[in-house]
Amino acid sequence: MKSFFKFLILLFAFLGTSFNSNSAEKVEYLKTDWSFKGLFGKFDRGSLQRGYQVYTEVCSSCHSMKYLSYRNLAEKGGPEFTIEQAKAIAASFEVKDGPNADGDMFTRPGKLSDKFVMPYENVKAAQAANGGAYPPDMSVLVKARGGGVDYIYSLLQGYEDPPAGISLDDGVYYNKYMYGNKIKMANQLSDGLVEYADGTTASVEQMSKDVTTFLMWAAEPHLEARHRMGFKAIVYLIILTALVYFSMKRIWSRIETEV
Amino acid sequence: MSGHEYIPKSKVGKWFNDRLPLLTLANHLTDYPTPKNLNYWWTFGGILTFCLITQIVTGLVLAMHYIAHADMAFDSVEHIMRDVNYGWLIRYIHANGASMFFLAVYIHIFRSLFYGSYKSPREIIWIIGIIIYLLMMAAAFMGYVLPWGQMSFWGATVITNLFSAIPLVGEGIVTWLWGGYSVDNPTLTRFFTLHYLIPFLILGLVVLHIWALHVPGNNNPVGIDIKKPSKDTVPFHPYIVIKDGFALLMFMIVFAFFVFYTPNILGHADNYIEADPLVTPAHIVPEWYLLPFYAILRSVPDKLLGVVAMLSAILILAALPWLDTSKVRSAVFRPLYRQFYWILVADVLILGYVGAMPAEGLYLLIARVATAYYFLHFLVILPVLGLKEKTVPVPLSITEPILGGSPNLATAKNKESLNN
């Protein structure tokens, strides 16, 4: 039994190292405390709401979020805007609908059931407006990057003047956390860029953290429910395992063999 | 098996059992005499059955919501993750379940290698097992394609392209597999169909696997033939049922940890980017459980020979009962084999590691050495070892080993004598 556990531990240690090494280039990302990590990790509501503000005022002019609906903003485990707030947010967007009875397309104010309005009609239009680079959809962006939240958080703060000897084309910027260091997105954040409704100082660091938290929720809207259920499930399993262990000892005590 | 004929107590039971002896079967399964010295490495058979059932059940629910279409597959997976009630739970169980399934099957296979469970009279059980393993790999590979992310698409492209190595007909076969001239919608729909079919084939083979097991009965850590039923055996129920249950629960705790706390760690981030035939990912890597074979494939400079080496690496296992010439089953009594066994384990782990790395420089060199050793182990070391090795005396029975005392004591004493 002992050697068995030793083997399992070794195996997991091995698996762990081999996955981390999947990312080819090692860069030390900037670290910050994420409230949603750990056994009981939850989102910071204020941070999510501020993050949404940064997303709409800054990111959303180029980046779509096609898998989210306005109703999600009021759902449990998310930014938890009130229904009225979410309705007002939705209504502030023009949504293309139709065809109507006359066969015409028309625009109307957004509703809770609408998906987030996209900044461009399609990928080609997005590329044309951004020097050929498609600003990736942000719905699952955090999960689609090796470094996850730390990577996004660092990238937003990673703009620097290029080191001597590196020349950049027009519309290409230097970022020390970007794969290959060349990025087509210009530095978007500057201190005081947005005015937070709750009075928080909008430093670059603060905005990076808020918007990254928001992106994490966008990618994993059920994260809180998952953590809650996970804790209950594991506690339940541990208790059951203990009970079964003692029953097993009892049953096997009928014969002279160790289990 | 149990030696006495089973007669149902109730009249209805007897009437039914005379027509379809299901109760006799149930009685056989509960009474099934099992060696009482089985250790925890033997619990992975039950764990694997649990894995298969879990995959089938969660897979059925996912299939109710998934759309097998190149334009909609990725969206439908996100729909499952966001809008389907507990869809995230079902999908994470299914995705991590595949990894857990392979983790368990590797332990199961290596247990068999250590205790010589593949040897006469259990060759058929072993060969059915190898076929199950092959089908598992096919099912897992096709399942990974279904979310239609970047790794899905490019993994499918790389693996299906392997068939183009076949001389003359290769290109034709690849076009036929794809249902077109590249991996596209027809490929996705057929992979979905096959991904749905294969688990049921596996289920059928599992029945045969267990049936074949119940003819000679379980091997055991001492590796000797035992009388059944006897003092050396316990009935499957309740002894083995509760022990398997305990091990399964421990396994489920690990499983739950992955599902609830690190559900994406075993996957690749690129698979959350929708498939794009125009953009190739920087490194195309398969899921971890296929990495050793991926390393073997890439270690051979020639494409056709690489494919042959990879397939041989799996198929060679089927010939194992005849490659291993030793009459003694358990490695407990084979001091030399035991050392080579652990070298093989290390070799496979190294292959897995280099499989995840770019195939260049030192990694490639390590992969080549490890590949060569893998084949050396099966083709040279095992046949020679069986003839040359001086084995330690094997006890005559589990309860009355030659050294006296309890069966575990016998094993312990043997270990001691080896160390001295």
ipTM, interface predicted TM-score of the complex: 0.90
CB atoms B88 and A226 under 8 Å: yes
Amino acid at B240: I
Q: Report the pLDDT averaged over residues B353-376.
A: 96
CB atoms B249 and A241 under 8 Å: yes
**Per-position DSSP letters for B234-282, written without gaps between them:** EEIIIIIHHHHHHHHHHHHHHHHHHHHH-TTTTS-GGGGSB--TT---S
Assess contact for A259 and A77: CB atoms under 8 A.
Answer: no
Residue B182 has pLDDT above 80, yes or no: yes
CB atoms A1 and B39 under 8 Å: yes
Residue A12 has pLDDT above 60, yes or no: no
pLDDT digits (tens, 9 = 90+) for B233-251: 999 999 999 999 999 999 9
Q: Is the dihedral of CA A92, A111, B77, B248 positive or negative?
A: positive
CB atoms B81 and A21 under 8 Å: no
Interface test with B, best of A234, A235, A238, A250 (most B CBs within 10 A): A234
Assess contact for A51 and A44: CB atoms under 8 A.
Answer: no
Assess contact for A205 and A55: CB atoms under 8 A.
Answer: no
What pLDDT was estimated at residue A180? 87
What pLDDT was estimated at residue B407? 53
Task: Look up residue B406 and give its DSSP letter.
Answer: -
Can you list the alpha helix ranges (DSSP code H) found in B287-360? 291-299, 303-315, 320-323, 335-355
Burial class (CB in 10 A: 0-12, 13-18, 19+), B59: buried
Is the minimum CB–CB distance between A238 and chain B shorter than 8 Å? yes
Is the minimum CB–CB distance between A248 and chain B shorter than 8 Å? yes
pLDDT band at A24 (very low <50, low <70, confident <90, very high): very low
Over chain B, what is the mean pLDDT?
Answer: 93
Q: Is the dihedral of CA B89, B97, B95, B210 positive or negative?
A: negative
Query: For residue A198, how many other CB atoms are within 10 A of its CB?
Result: 8
Assess contact for B369 and B377: CB atoms under 8 A.
Answer: no
Chain A residue at shortest CA distance from B84 = A222
CB atoms A19 and B266 under 8 Å: yes
CB atoms B283 and A21 under 8 Å: no
Assess contact for B184 and B70: CB atoms under 8 A.
Answer: yes
Minimal Cβ distance to A256: which of B238, B243, B406 = B406
Question: What token pair was written down for B137?
Answer: 């790999």
Number of continuous H segments (helices) and E segments (strands) in chain B: 17, 2
What is d(CA A199, CA B161) in angstroms, rounded to the nearest whole number? 58
List C-alpha distances in Å: B346 to A14, B63, B230, B342, B370. Answer: 11, 38, 38, 6, 9
Minimal Cβ distance to B37: which of A14, A231, A257 = A257
Residue B269 has pLDDT above 90, yes or no: yes
What is d(CA A71, CA B314) in angstroms, rounded to the nearest whole number? 51
pTM for the model stands at: 0.92
**Per-position DSSP letters for A92-136, written without gaps between them:** TSEEEE---TTS--EEEE--TTSBPPPSSSSHHHHHHHTTT----
Which of B338, B339, B334, B340 is closest to B373 using CA atoms? Answer: B340
What pLDDT was estimated at residue B396? 83
Residue A74 has pLDDT above 60, yes or no: yes
pLDDT digits (tens, 9 = 90+) for B98-154: 999 999 999 999 999 999 999 999 999 999 999 999 999 999 999 999 999 999 999
List C-alpha distances in Å: A200 to A42, A54, A86, A204. Answer: 20, 13, 21, 12
CB atoms A226 and B263 under 8 Å: yes
What is d(CA A37, CA B380) in angstroms, rounded to the nearest whole number? 51
What is d(CA B107, CA A3) in angstroms, rounded to the nearest whole number? 13
Is the minimum CB–CB distance between A180 and chain B shorter than 8 Å? no
Is the minimum CB–CB distance between A3 and chain B shorter than 8 Å? no
Distance from the B383 Cα atom to the nearest Cα atom in chain A, whole angstroms? 27
> What are the residues whose beta carbons fall under 8 Å from the beta carbon of A30, sequence distance 6 or more?
A150, A153, A154, A157, A158
pLDDT digits (tens, 9 = 90+) for A203-246: 999 999 999 999 999 999 999 999 999 999 999 999 999 999 99
pLDDT band at B398 (very low <50, low <70, confident <90, very high): confident
CB atoms B103 and A11 under 8 Å: yes
Chain B residue at shortest CA distance from A140 = B272
Assess contact for B339 and B263: CB atoms under 8 A.
Answer: no
